[in-house]
Each structure stands twice: as C-alpha cells, then as structure tokens.
A and B are shown apart, each in its own frame.
Chain A
C-alpha cells in the first residue's frame, strides 16, 4: 500500500482520533465499556458500519443532491446497522443482549455520520473505505482502553478471565476489594477525561488556548 493509504488508516489512531480529538461517537464509547468483550464486539461493528457506509456514500457521491443527502445517508447507515444487528443476534446472542439499544444507536453514532459528511462525500471509494476502517479502529482503541481499566479495577477480570487472584479479596482473608464505582457510568466519563489529559499533554498542538 502507498504511503497515503497508510496515513488514512493510522491517522485516526492518535493525531486525529475520532473520540478524544474530534469528540465524536461518545455515547456508545462509554456505555458498552463495563466489560472488555462487548467493547470489542461494539468496536468491530462500528468499524464495519463506518467502512461500508463510507464506501457506499463515496460511490453515490456524484448522484446524490446535497439537499437530501442526510436522509440518504441515514437510510444507508440504518440498513447496514440492521444487517450488523441481525448478524450479532445470530452468532453472539448473549453479547447482543448486553449491548441492547446501543447497537441501534450506531445509526446515530456521530463517527459514522461525521466521516461520511467530512470525508466520503469528497473522496474516491478506496480512500473512503480505508478512512472508515481507520476511524472505526481509532474508536475501538479508546473503547478497549476504557474497558480494560473498568473491567480490571471494577471486577478483577479481563475478557471474563480472573486476573486478580481470589485469595487477595477481603472475603477470602486478603486485603483487596473491587472498586465498585468503576461499574457505574460516571467513571467512564472520568477515564475518558484522563485519557484526553494524557494525550494532549503529549500532543501540545491539540491543546486549547
């Protein structure tokens, strides 16, 4: 792949991250991160939807009048999300139950809409597809970081496997106890706030005056 394509793919990881730099798609980024597994499934679903929405809209970009483009985008995205929802229900039913309404909310996830508006409508299909994958993965990266801390500190497991030994817990005669607050929604916000803090102190050009 050429240099440019690599840039479309990796740009959204840090310098142009959809969640912590563009502040897009936060609703779902926070709600599904109590455990690592649903977070990964969500990240993959969003990547698929963003990539294909970008591809389809980029193919249609010359035929769509700009007055009605929002409705057309919504229809394309909603159709893709219905497909993803049906696949999740068929193959990973338990996780799709855990994700509940948040799968449907991929439709209104600003990342999908934002990338279609900002990138796909002005670029060729292949770069648009790569941009979609890149942004989906950049979003997934933040999801995984937040879910890692919340699951590890909140329930002492990762992907359902026990990391913090049972014998450390107070109930078993040890000294450790889970931080129950991690399981509540507000902690997700605070963790994202801290990620932004760390990221911006490394990238001084992103700081606000």
Chain B
C-alpha cells in the first residue's frame, strides 16, 4: 500500500515537470513530435528506474552519515560527496544506454541525436536522485523497493508530461498564434496551464 502511494504521488502529484520543472530543457526542445517524445520519455524512464535505486544503495551504505558502520567506521560521514557520486553513476549508466540504443535501434538513435548523451545532464534524472536522498533523510523512503517504485513513477510522470505536450504542440501547428509567441513562448504557457490542471491531484492519498 505504501509503495502504491509513492507510485501515484510521484506520477501525478509530485510530477517532475509540473511541480518541480525538472528536465525542462529537453522537454521544450524535444516535444515537437509525439514519436520522438515517446522515445526520449522511454529512455528517461528506464534510466531513472535504474539510477535511483543504484544511488539509493550508494547513499544508504556508503555516503550517509554513519553509513560506513558495516566497514567498522561508524564516525565517518561522506555526504559532501553526494553530488559527485550521483552524477558519476548517472553519467556512466547513460553511456551504457546510449551504446545499447545505438546497437539495437539506429533509427531512434539518429532521431534522438544530441539529446541521448544529454540525458546525463537532464535535471529530471539528477533531480530524482536528489529528491530520493531528501526523502531518505526525511524518513519517507526506507527500502530499496520504495526507491525502485519512486524512480519508475517519476520517470513515468515525465514521460506522460512530454507525450501530452508533444500531442498538443502537433495540434498547435494549425492554430493562429501571435508570431512572437510561436515556439518556446506558447510551449511555456501551455505547460503552465497543464500544470494548473495537474494541481487537482494534490492532496490525493491512498
């Protein structure tokens, strides 16, 4: 029940895009067609589902204050290294995914172009790990399974947002938008309105 709650909350209420603006750069740049959006969303979800639990393990057993007790060093706290360890895990993992996509789906690879390596610097993925750390400190996330669920839910939330956005932007090609608003301008305003719509989910608890 607890994990279902985390899952629903991370998709709808604490949605990466609408509540925290994570991953906005690629969200705005890649949401021009639904097909590319689906590809990038899948890649982000996959990377997030894997990196959040990996970083959870690293944080819980290496970095946290007193985490090295199992190695006989209960007084050591390495938490100042958190950022660098998290980003290294993510960058290494993205490199792996990039090689896999290049091998198995060259079409997707050429479509995603520069954005595949840039998943490493997609704030949604780093943000997922940092929020995981914050929730571990706050006591809301307390097992490996919860961190898997949290990573998956956050990734799906981001995926949902970018696909919805791409679908709307495909339609806006046919509408008369003031020339100065075309492109990023209207994308921001649409995202804002979608965010207001998503606010109806706040307060839901299972």
**Residue pair A185, B19 in contact (C-beta under 8 Å):** yes
Give the CA-CA distance A17 to B196 in the complex, in Å.
27
Which of B4-12, B69-77, B103-111, B185-193 participates in binding chain A?
B185-193
Contact of A24 with B20 at beta-carbon distance under 8 Å, contacts A78-B87, A105-B130 already known: no
Question: Among the listed B18, B25, B178, B196, which residue makes an inter-chain contact with A197, where contact means beta carbons less than 8 Å apart?
Answer: B178
- 1/0 contact trace for B61-96 toward A, CB 8 Å? 000000000000000000011111011100100000
Q: Measured between alpha carbons, how far is A31 from B20 in the docked complex, in Å?
A: 6
**Contact residues in A for B24 (Cβ distance below 8 Å):** 26-27, 30
Q: Give CA–CA (A200, B24) in the complex, Å.
A: 20
Among B91, B122, B134, B192, residue most surrounded by chain A Cβ atoms (within 10 Å):
B192
Proximity string of chain B (29-47) to chain A, C-beta cutoff 8 Å, 1 when within and 0 when not: 1000000000000000000
Pick the residue among A29, A85, A109, A192 that contacts B83 (CB under 8 A).
A85
Segment touching B, from A68-76, A130-138, A154-162, A164-172: A68-76
Contact count A vs B, C-beta below 8 Å = 148
The reply to whether the CB of B131 lies closer than 8 angstroms to some CB of chain A is yes
Shortest Cβ distance from A119 into chain B, in angstroms? 16
The 8 Å CB contact of A74, one of B120, B131, B186, is: B120
CA separation between A85 and B82, bound complex, in Å? Answer: 11
Contact of A81 among B83, B181, B182 (CB under 8 A): B83
Contacts of A190 in B (CB 8 A): 188-189, 192-193
A and B contact pairs by CB, cutoff 8 A, 16 listed: A25-B25, A27-B23, A27-B123, A75-B84, A78-B83, A101-B130, A108-B123, A181-B196, A193-B185, A193-B186, A193-B192, A194-B189, A196-B180, A200-B181, A207-B179, A209-B182
B residues contacting A by CB (< 8 A) are 18-25, 28-29, 80-84, 86-88, 91, 117-118, 120-123, 125-127, 130-131, 133-134, 178-189, 191-196, 199
New A-B contacts (18) at CB < 8 Å, excluding given A26-B21, A188-B21, A193-B187: A20-B184, A23-B28, A27-B23, A31-B21, A74-B87, A78-B87, A104-B82, A108-B123, A108-B125, A110-B25, A186-B194, A187-B192, A189-B188, A193-B185, A193-B192, A196-B180, A199-B180, A207-B180
